[in-house]
Amino acid sequence: MRRKEEVAATPDVADPLGACSNATLRKAARRLGKLYDDALAPSGLRATQYVLLIQIGALGTPTMAELAKSLLMDLSATRHSLGPLIRDRMVKLRVDTNDRRVKRVSLTAAGEARSAEAGQLWRRAQDHFERAFGSARAARLREELSVVASATFEDALLSAGELRAEAPERTKAIRKM
């Protein structure tokens, strides 16, 4: 019998997109997203909301643009994702004291408490994933995905050539945030 850490990928059906990195990554993200969403459900948070709370807590009082950039999100998606957290008074927006056009994001006491509560649920999901996938493989997976999410890799993609003419402008816009 194979150890869990040696389990190889065995697709249930022939996958016409099996060689597509994007499709494979998105499928894996949906599988893990469901695991973490289910684990966090008792806290009333989705995994995406928990990530926002944790990132805001780590950054202190980031601007919306700083938060978006740290999560590789665009500004409108970040604002949309913050909506329920603002509504439920876990996060608040305030105008920056130096530039009234800029909004800063901060956790409220309720957001800090919910984040701490959800952290225990997240830990259980993380442990569950690592037991199923193998902790060494999980660490390697995070390392590889961190490379893909890095600015260095983005630069490598850009230097490999453009797929579309508008890609450099969008990349520059994201970097300016």
Per-residue pLDDT of the chain (177 residues; tens, 9 = 90+): 444 544 555 555 667 777 899 999 999 999 999 999 999 999 999 999 999 999 999 999 999 999 999 999 999 999 999 999 999 999 999 999 999 999 999 999 999 999 999 999 999 999 999 999 999 999 999 999 999 999 999 888 888 876 665 555 555 555 555
pLDDT at 2: 46
Q: What pLDDT score does 129 carry?
A: 97
Confidence at residue 1, expressed as pLDDT on a 0 to 100 scale: 43
Answer yes or no: are the C-beta atoms of 53 and 90 closer than 8 Å: yes
Tokens representing residue 23 in the block: 């499709």
Contact predicate 49/81, CB 8 Å: yes
pLDDT of residue 48: 95
Q: Does domain 28-133 have CATH number 1.10.10.10?
A: yes
Domain boundaries, the chain: 28-133, 135-177
Global pTM value: 0.80
